[in-house]
Structure 1
Amino acid sequence: MIRSFYWHDYETFGVDPVHDRPSQFAGVRTDADLNIIEDPLVIYCKPADDYLPSPEACLITGITPQKALEDGFPEAEFITQINEAFSQPGTCAVGYNSLRFDDEVTRHTLYRNLRDPYAREWQNGNSRWDIIDMVRLTYALRPDGIHWPRKEDGSPSFRLEELTVANGIAHEAAHDAMSDVLATIAVAKMIKEKQPKLFDFVLNNKDKHSARQMLDTAAMKPVFHISAKYPATRGCCALVAPLAESLSNKNQVIVYDLREDPEELINASVEEIRERVFTSQAELGEGVSRFPLKGVQLNKCP
């Protein structure tokens, strides 16, 4: 049972969560109604002597190695404080695009410092969540009451800093971890207020057990799927049919995009399927397209 949400964000010295290092962390705990109930945690991380930060990352965040060295904690102490906050019983750790980036920063920093990289995600009734796909789902199904910023090509932008500006949400310093955390909470509150049923549906079905029930490969019942793998021009969404569980990953289900006629896939040989799944579109050439198959990760709040 979720007792509290822990909203968080990292700033880092590079774009690779595996090899690059964190520079700043900010987090704050809220209750189930998204009211802040603890003092925020904002800490810096000293850069390692054997690591060279990206100059571009420093320019974007404004955090120099000198500042992090002066104000920060050694990485082991830095991640210990974060892990303690995440590990309180009943905590749901949540962010904006956090499953693909911030959670990976946490995992690799824990592992690098000889700590369990996964325990805080499931022990003591804990869990994790990422609201970016809920934002995309809101645009696709319940867009009313929210202003949606547009890119030059007319497609929607789901960048946090652009979404906050369009909706008059205070976001004084994009790429400052605490500012991003408060902006994320404000966006979540906006959706909870404008579309409460959608908010509750997404929250109540974020775990892998709910996802597995929906992605019934025996019945192949179509489901509405949100993913950044689908272009923003199409709302990052597709009606898909669950075909099979992955043989290499028990938490992955293979789905087919029903915008494309499946007849070619049904009649294709194993060799042709392999070629049209694992070969890039550029190498396939004109007149031949890749089969619209996709793996859905059940344990990543699909």
Structure 2
Amino acid sequence: MRVVGNRNFVQSHHLLTPHSKGKHRIVSSPDDSTFLFHDYETFGKSPSLDRPAQFAALRTDSYLNPIGEPQIFYCRLADDYLPQPKAVIVTGITPQVACKNGVTESEFAARIYKLFTKKERTCIVGYNNVNFDDEVTRHLFYRNFFDPYGWSWQNNNSRWDLLDVMRACYALRPEGIVWPENKNSFPSFKLEHITKANGTVHKNPHNAISDVYATLEMAKLVKKKQPKLFDFLFTYRKKQKLMTLINIPQMKPLVHVSSIFGDARSNVSWIVPLAWHPNNHNLLIVADLAADMSPLLELDADVLGEHFYTRKSNLSNKNISLPIKLVHINKCPVLAPANTLRSEDIKRLCIDRDACLANLMLLRQHPAVRDKVVKVFANTKPFTSSDDVDAQLYDGFFSESDRAGMNILRQTAPGDLPALALTFQDPRVTNLLFRYRARNFPGTLDDAEQKRWLQHRREILNTERVHNFLLEIESLAVLHQNEVKKMFQLKALCLYLQDLVS
């Protein structure tokens, strides 16, 4: 474990130069704003195709003091889905527990949507939520006819991810916090590891409410030990604020903290912005200044594109490593002025400042590289849609008229849904509506619809899937044969399967 002393966070704008005396004035979050810490436990890793098991949330004021009682919901499983056995072993939540204590997914989604949207200026926070929990939310709302996106920005709402805050704290201002290491001697940012190292009680990892409290404690820890860093990252979590840091014409370097750089590099590097993605204005094309610039300068756009979009194992030349990265400006990325990295941190993190500066000068001498990278991404292969409507959220936005129709669907009593005469432009809505009724209100299906649903279930719960499900349970049973609780959970999965296919 690593413990470092305490020092203030200061930053200025000098090029790749350690911090100077200039300071940014950061205004803390207004008193009427709140944080909503939240977490999902799910029955699998796929936000689109797997299902939520449990949700928990706790609201705090802008100073991280809890407001009101924690909220905990379970979600019943529909009968066209098989949980991932490993997920059940991790969370300890069996389908039987979720079904006994839970509500329909429709009601589950409605409760969460109300929590997210009932109070203006809510910052919705989690731990790795941008890459997982927020995707679970989006797909949950999509399946149940709520706006998949508005909850995170309407009424001055926002979102924030404490995982990247912890990574940034380790890289930029580690003082005052104990940093546990993993088996490879790199810092571990697993919530259960970092809470334990810093003396926070976290009795039930992978229990939603336990993880919510643990995330809150980590936020308090950073706010206490590194308040200026906390305020900076909070202020610059939004796209509009981040845009003020980005200067493409001058190729102004920035510090970027992200898992794309890997544990061995402490998830941090200097980057330089090159251009905006030609087809997605939320994507910033950058170059990693610690990488070799030769491929970017020497290869043409077609070859660069092939290397960027092809798995390394499938490339003819596996030795080429591209310095190009994409930063999702709407996903709370950690960006900061280049000089935020202090001299002692540059040394501690083994960053070659001279090499980075040389690469920056090289890129500035070849401004045409911007046009090249734009061409690389202009030739992006078309998005491949899934055949499963549950996984078609990102096929496109719904029209105003379809969204209005979906609002009517949500407000209609279940028994009146079959007689509802609505026409939708997007075929996804009609397919979703059938599944929505079958999963949440099966009693509303007529004979023909029941046969259609039975056929759908047979396709989902096919022989191969059931066989693989049982094989995984057998494998886990061997691994956990001496653990009573886990063996009970595996037996519960077998019983659940019997009920589904009988």
TM-score (norm 2): 0.59
**2:112 paired with 1:119:** no
Shift in Å, 1:140: 0.4
Equivalent-residue separation in structure 1 for 2:321 and 2:59 (angstroms): 44
CA contact (8 A) 1:94 1:130 kept: yes
Equivalent-residue separation in structure 2 for 1:192 and 1:285 (angstroms): 48
Cα deviation per residue 1:25-73 (whole Å; 9 max; x = unaligned)? 0001000010001111001000111111112111111111011111101
**2:38 paired with 1:22:** no
- Alpha-carbon distance change, 289 to 171 in structure 1, aligned in 2, over 3 angstroms: same
Selected match of 1:43 from 73, 76, 79: 73
Cα deviation per residue 1:99-140 (whole Å; 9 max; x = unaligned)? 111111111001101111112111111111111111001000
Selected match of 1:290 from 304, 318, 321: 321
**2:184 paired with 1:153:** yes
Corresponding residue number in structure 1 for 2:63: 33
Corresponding residue number in structure 1 for 2:113: 83
CA contact (8 A) 2:57 2:71 kept: yes
Corresponding residue number in structure 2 for 1:245: 276
Identity fraction in percent: 46
| Greater per-residue helix proportion | 2
Structure 1 range deviating more: 199-208 or 148-157: 148-157
Equivalent-residue separation in structure 2 for 1:277 and 1:79 (angstroms): 37
TM-score (norm 1): 0.97
Cα deviation per residue 1:220-251 (whole Å; 9 max; x = unaligned)? 11100011111111111110010010011111
**2:237 paired with 1:218:** no
- Within a 5 Å distance, the mapping from 1:49-60 to structure 2 comes to 49-60=79-90
Corresponding residue number in structure 2 for 1:171: 202
Equivalent-residue separation in structure 1 for 2:108 and 2:318 (angstroms): 53
Larger radius of gyration: 2
Equivalent-residue separation in structure 2 for 1:150 and 1:138 (angstroms): 15
Shift in Å, 1:267: 3.2
One-letter amino acid of the structure 1 residue matched with residue 278 of structure 2: L
Shift in Å, 1:211: 1.8
When the two chains are superposed, the root-mean-square deviation of aligned CA atoms in Å is: 1.3
Corresponding residue number in structure 1 for 2:286: 255
One-letter amino acid of the structure 1 residue matched with residue 257 of structure 2: I
One-letter amino acid of the structure 1 residue matched with residue 64 of structure 2: L
Task: Please state whether the residue corresponding to 1:23 is helix, strand or coil.
Answer: strand
Shift in Å, 1:268: 2.5
CA contact (8 A) 1:238 1:258 kept: yes
Corresponding residue number in structure 2 for 1:12: 42
One-letter amino acid of the structure 2 residue matched with residue 57 of structure 1: A
CA contact (8 A) 1:140 1:235 kept: yes
Task: Please state whether the residue corresponding to 1:37 is helix, strand or coil.
Answer: strand
CA contact (8 A) 2:195 2:202 kept: yes
One-letter amino acid of the structure 1 residue matched with residue 312 of structure 2: Q
Cα deviation per residue 1:190-242 (whole Å; 9 max; x = unaligned)? 00000000000000010011222222211211100011111111111110010
Shift in Å, 1:270: 1.9
Task: Please state whether the residue corresponding to 1:53 is helix, strand or coil.
Answer: coil
Equivalent-residue separation in structure 1 for 2:129 and 2:184 (angstroms): 26
Corresponding residue number in structure 2 for 1:95: 126
Equivalent-residue separation in structure 2 for 1:98 and 1:282 (angstroms): 30
CA contact (8 A) 1:215 1:253 kept: no
One-letter amino acid of the structure 1 residue matched with residue 73 of structure 2: I
Gaps of 5+ in 1: none
Equivalent-residue separation in structure 2 for 1:151 and 1:104 (angstroms): 27
Equivalenced residue count is 302
Selected match of 2:103 from 73, 78, 93: 73
- Alpha-carbon distance change, 287 to 77 in structure 1, aligned in 2, over 3 angstroms: closer
Equivalent-residue separation in structure 2 for 1:106 and 1:159 (angstroms): 22
**2:226 paired with 1:195:** yes
Corresponding residue number in structure 2 for 1:234: 265
Equivalent-residue separation in structure 1 for 2:272 and 2:292 (angstroms): 12
Structure 1 range deviating more: 71-80 or 276-285: 276-285
Structure 1 range deviating more: 29-38 or 263-272: 263-272
- Alpha-carbon distance change, 243 to 152 in structure 1, aligned in 2, over 3 angstroms: same
CA contact (8 A) 2:312 2:318 kept: no
Corresponding residue number in structure 1 for 2:140: 109
